[in-house]
Amino acid sequence: MSLGGARFTGFTWRPLGRRNPVVAGLDLVIEPGERVLLVGPSGAGKSTLLYGLAGALGTTIAGELSGTAEVEGRLGLLLQNPADAIVAERMGRDVAFGPENAGMSRAEIWSRVDEALASVGLTYGRDHFSAALSGGEQQRLALAGVLAMRPDVLLLDEPTSMLDSDTSASVRDAILSAAEGRTLLIVEHRIEPWLDHVDRVVVLSADGSIVSDGTVQAFLDGPPPAGVWMPGMATPTPLDLPADLVAPDVDALSIAATDVSVELVTRTLRGMQRTQALTGLTAAITPGRTTAFTGPSGAGKSTALAVLGGLLKPNGGTVTPELRRWRSPRLAGAVGWVPQNPEHGFLTSTVGDEVRHSARKLGREVDVDRVLEVFGLGRFATSNPYRLSGGEQRRLALASALAHRPGVVLLDEPTVGQDPSTWAAVVGWITAARSTDATVALSTHDADLPIDAEHRMRDGVVA
């Protein structure tokens, strides 16, 4: 195999705790310098293939591996959860990690660090705390760490999923420029912007087998595969969900924030980083309406949701009612919140228990089987939440936070990592909650989400 090539031969992977393999007997050859887009429905095993090439399966990740996944040359992998990729306390040293491993001179290291940070649009400076970045900013930091290495093979798992369209476009340009003459394997759900820039599209089916593999033109001319956001396709119709599954069990609250300011402090004994996350936010969310907070990463969208839900104390201004002072069970009865990182939301060891957990605490009835079916998780009822794919985990986090039918529904990037059919399920829940008079607020970069009001934010201020 030549430098920059990659090859799967009879590749089969069954994660620990899963009965069936995610990928079975897969054969695939990627030639040096090829740009390949890997697509397929949520849970099809796309990320698994990247982990296979990185040599993580059967070593760092437990499970049963057979066949081979080989790659020739220096590898750069971007993980789906960017927080996991952080290896240093400050941005500069984090990006420098790859060049240091490659044994570069100090001048070369810093030249690459500055170039990579600039290419992904992170302008805070080398000494900014990595932990003080927002989810989207951490995604760009992780990407900068990969680009600075100038690897022979770039493996990118949803590199722009948490970015707004403008930032996505510039990050995509940075990736394409860095990938010039190198091998590129990208996993993405929203594929349209990539199609003009790749040589080949490989489509996986839900059972992890290859259903089509060819040029972009052949992909576009062929029958549309299931679970793929095809270019120009109409926005999927949100699933029509029965009201009894979603309708609030309590009267929904109206929540108003007036002139709210929040300063986030990342503190260590060696110093602290202050980030003005919100400045003078005035916004109201009301029953029967979906309010969206939009804007670039780091704009304060997640912070706005946390303040409205009584999960974060503002430094100034008022939030009415003051949910922050409510005790936990009372708050849970009124508010459901879906965090950006789904793994932070899991409290039990099986998917089924996770969905019934809050309802049991509050004495509410939940039809767990129907909820899991809605989100395409029915076959995982007895599985451990940590064994699910990224997209499946996000849907489970949403089901767990909302199955007990709170009156206020707060969602942080709810549609990231979803294919058209699972998107329809997630958005179906959101629209059903709205139409049954729940108060819905979300942070999103998804322009297809049906909303009633939008607060476009930038640098902590509603623009």
Partner 1 sequence: MRTLVLRANPLVQLSVGLFSLLGSFWIRSLPVALIALGAYVLVGLLLLPGWRYPLVCLGFTAIAAVTIVYSTWRLGGRDTEEAITAGLRIVVLAGPGSVMAGYVDPSRLADYLAQTLHLPARLIAAFAGALQKFTGFGLAWQQLERVRRVRGFGPSRNPLANGGYAANMSFALLVQALRGASATSIAMDARGFATAHERTWAEPAPWTRLDRWAVVVAAVLGCAPIIARLAGA
- Residues in 273-332 that interact with partner 1 by CB under 8 A: 306, 309, 311-312, 327-329, 331-332
The reply to whether 250 sits near partner 1 by the rule CB under 8 A is: no
The reply to whether 352 sits near partner 1 by the rule CB under 8 A is: no
The reply to whether 429 sits near partner 1 by the rule CB under 8 A is: no
The reply to whether 39 sits near partner 1 by the rule CB under 8 A is: no
The reply to whether 28 sits near partner 1 by the rule CB under 8 A is: no
Q: Which is nearer to partner 1, 54 or 304 (CB)?
A: 54
Token digits of residue 451: 């909303």
Q: Which is nearer to partner 1, 336 or 391 (CB)?
A: 336
Q: Which is nearer to partner 1, 64 or 100 (CB)?
A: 100
The reply to whether 109 sits near partner 1 by the rule CB under 8 A is: yes
- What is the nearest approach in angstroms of partner 1 to the Cβ of residue 306? 7
The reply to whether 102 sits near partner 1 by the rule CB under 8 A is: yes
The reply to whether 74 sits near partner 1 by the rule CB under 8 A is: yes
Q: Which of 22, 44, 69, 96 is in the footprint of partner 1 by CB under 8 A? A: 96
The reply to whether 381 sits near partner 1 by the rule CB under 8 A is: no
The reply to whether 226 sits near partner 1 by the rule CB under 8 A is: no
The reply to whether 18 sits near partner 1 by the rule CB under 8 A is: no
Q: Which of 4, 41, 52, 98 is in the footprint of partner 1 by CB under 8 A? A: 98
* Interface of this chain with partner 1, residues 393 to 422, rule: CB under 8 A: 400-401
* Interface of this chain with partner 1, residues 114 to 133, rule: CB under 8 A: 129-131
Q: Which is nearer to partner 1, 19 or 344 (CB)?
A: 344
Residue type at position 431: T
* Interface of this chain with partner 1, residues 134 to 193, rule: CB under 8 A: 142, 145-146, 149, 151, 155
The reply to whether 236 sits near partner 1 by the rule CB under 8 A is: no
- What is the nearest approach in angstroms of partner 1 to the Cβ of residue 92? 7
Find the radius of gyration of the CA atoms of the chain.
22
Q: Which is nearer to partner 1, 117 or 201 (CB)?
A: 117
Q: Which is nearer to partner 1, 239 or 332 (CB)?
A: 332
The one segment of 36-44, 48-56, 172-180, 430-438 that binds partner 1 by CB under 8 A: 48-56
The residue count for binding partner 1 (CB under 8 A) is 77
Q: Which of 358, 383, 389, 415 is in the footprint of partner 1 by CB under 8 A? A: 358
Within the chain, what is the greatest distance between any pair of CA atoms?
64
The reply to whether 223 sits near partner 1 by the rule CB under 8 A is: no
3-state secondary structure the chain: CCCCCEEEEEEEEEECCCCCCCEEEEEEEECCCCEEEEECCCCCCHHHHHHHHCCCECCCECEEEEEEEEECCCEEEECCCHHHHCCCCEHHHHHHHHHHHCCCCHHHHHHHHHHHHHHCCCCCCCCCEHHHCCHHHHHHHHHHHHHCCCCCEEEEECCCCCCCHHHHHHHHHHHHHHCCCCEEEEECCECHHHHCCCCEEEEECCCCCEEEEECHHHHHHCCCCCCCECCCCCCCCCCCCCHHHHCCCCCCCCEEEEEEEEEEEEEECCEEEEEEEEEEEEEEECCCCEEEEECCCCCCHHHHHHHHCCCCCCCEEEEECCHHHCCHHHHHHHEEEECCCHHHHCCCCCHHHHHHHHHHHHCCCCCHHHHHHHCCCHHHCCCCHHHCCHHHHHHHHHHHHHCCCCCEEEEECCCCCCCHHHHHHHHHHHHHHHHCCCEEEEECCCCCCCCCEEEEEECCEEC
Q: Which is nearer to partner 1, 62 or 169 (CB)?
A: 62
